[in-house]
Amino acid sequence: MKDLIPTPPPLVQNKFESVRELFSKNVVPSYGRFDLALSHGAGSYVFDVAGKRYLDLGSGIAVCCLGHAPPAITEALVEQSKKLIHVSNLYYTEPQGRLAAEVVKRIGAGKVFFSNSGAEANEGLFKVARKFGHDEGRFEILTATNSFHGRTLAGIAATGQEKVKKGFEPMMPGFRHIPFNDLTAARNAISPATVAIMIEGVQGEGGVTPAAVAGEIALRALCDEKKLLLFMDAVQDGHFRTGKFQSFQRILENVPGGEKFLPDGISTAKSLGGGFPIGAFWVRAPFADLLGPGMHASTFGGTPLACAVALKIFEVIEHEKLGEHARKLGDWILSELKQLAEIYPTVVKSARGLGFMLGLELAEKIPAFASSDKSAAIQFVNRLHAAGVMTIPAGTQVIRLLPPLNLKPQEAAEGIAKIEELVKSLA
Ligand SMILES: Cc1ncc(COP(=O)(O)O)c(C=O)c1O
């Protein structure tokens, strides 16, 4: 009798479950996703499909620099879309030229190539390096251990983390890793084939680790001495996140000689478009024409629509002084996080970062996390979701705070209060 009565379908289907089902049936499962299906957002808040509100301190991993649904971006999109959304890079368009000029103005003499993502921006720089060293047979690029440079084949070869390479061997040749912030190791690693060094000013995925002040200046000198190009991957730490347009401008401010420091190439993406996909690399003047006509291209790179959005973002950030704001409020958040490390050392090991690129390193062996095989970072982020706050894990022990640049002081206070409540409950 029991077998004849089928289980009745649930009367109200859970919306999250139905979204998840669409994914499990149709989307390549290459991401480890949290149990959250998001529906819409406004400012620093985002809502899930059940209507629950979250304070978004991750902003799409350092992307939504003006928060969610910012009217300025909507307006720029609407206005530009009425004129011209896309034309081929076979033609000139004013927004792309103007955006390149804005980037050059803030970095230094050079030129810009537009891509669609951070990984692609790095790919472009790798090609610049290979072209630079080609006639001498130099092609090798040194990157740092724990670095992250994207998920393309060159990106995973460049990334200094084994986990992104596993299963995709053999790696593309021409990349070797050196310990971050270790100049002697960098010097010793240079071979006759080496042509460039690439670092992040603040390692993001690697756990929010800033480059050492002396290290940046010394790397520049080493690259000059050995005729190497020095590249900075600013995909995550760029675009005012640390308080200055570029993280090296923040790290080297007030450092003797710091104002003269310039890398030879910088890659960027994420906040450049505030959520609209766009990436770019800037290359310093002496090398700016290495990639000539026909040598590098992207169908969607630098469309009028993407560039109009990016131009508007520059305007808003500058007008509202959001770099300085991120710096000041970031200092406050960091001091609060450092206090948590002092008061609750069994839960928080340390806090670090610059501006709105902050990391909270969790202590080893938090008892409440012992029964799960998930990393401490993931468990912490999950519990913060339950409390209505979104943050981003980095590795197994660090959570990142990468809020929108226009985060309000009361929102920062709300986030800190919820983080403190969680830390206290775990102590
Ligand atoms: C430093 C850095 N470089 C490159 C990338 C890759 O960017 P994208 O995901 O846009 O390809 C990322 C992404 O997180 C990054 O943090």
pLDDT of amino acid 214 = 81
HSE-CB of 69 using CA atoms within 13 angstroms? 8
Mean pLDDT of the chain: 96
270 C-alpha to ligand 1 centroid (Å): 8
Q: Is the pLDDT of residue 339 over 90?
A: yes
pLDDT of amino acid 257 = 85
State both tokens at 221: 């000198």
Per-residue buried b or exposed e for 276-296, using 16+ beta carbons within 10 Å of the residue's own CB: bbbbbbbbbeebbebbeeeeb
Least confident of 120-124, 254-258, 395-399: 254-258
Indicate if ligand 1 lies below 6 Å from the C-beta of 177: no
pLDDT of amino acid 14 = 84
Indicate if ligand 1 lies below 6 Å from the C-beta of 205: yes
pLDDT of amino acid 5 = 57
Pocket test residue of 148, 231, 400 for ligand 1, highest count of atoms within 8 A of CB: 148
Indicate if ligand 1 lies below 6 Å from the C-beta of 237: no
Q: How confident is the model at residue 12 (pLDDT cuts 50, 70, 90)?
A: very low
Determine if the peptide bond prior to 293 is cis (ω within 30°): no
User: Which of 157, 257, 160, 177 has the alpha carbon at shortest distance from 216?
Assistant: 257
pLDDT of amino acid 6 = 57
- The Cα–Cα gap between 202 and 146 comes to 11
Q: Each residue of 285-321: pLDDT tens digit?
A: 999 999 999 999 999 999 999 999 999 999 999 999 9
Q: Each residue of 135-172: pLDDT tens digit?
A: 999 999 999 999 999 999 999 999 999 999 999 999 99
Indicate if ligand 1 lies below 6 Å from the C-beta of 204: yes
- The Cα–Cα gap between 399 and 91 comes to 44
| The overall pTM is greater than 0.85 | yes
Q: Each residue of 397-416: pLDDT tens digit?
A: 999 999 999 999 999 999 99
Q: DSSP 3-state assignment of 167?
A: coil
Q: What is the DSSP string of 345-358?
A: TTTEEEEEEETTEE
Q: Is the pLDDT of residue 114 over 70?
A: yes
Question: Which position has the higher pLDDT, 379 or 214?
Answer: 379
314 C-alpha to ligand 1 centroid (Å): 20
Q: Each residue of 41-65: pLDDT tens digit?
A: 999 999 999 999 999 999 999 999 9
Q: Cα 376 to the chain's mean position, in Å?
A: 21
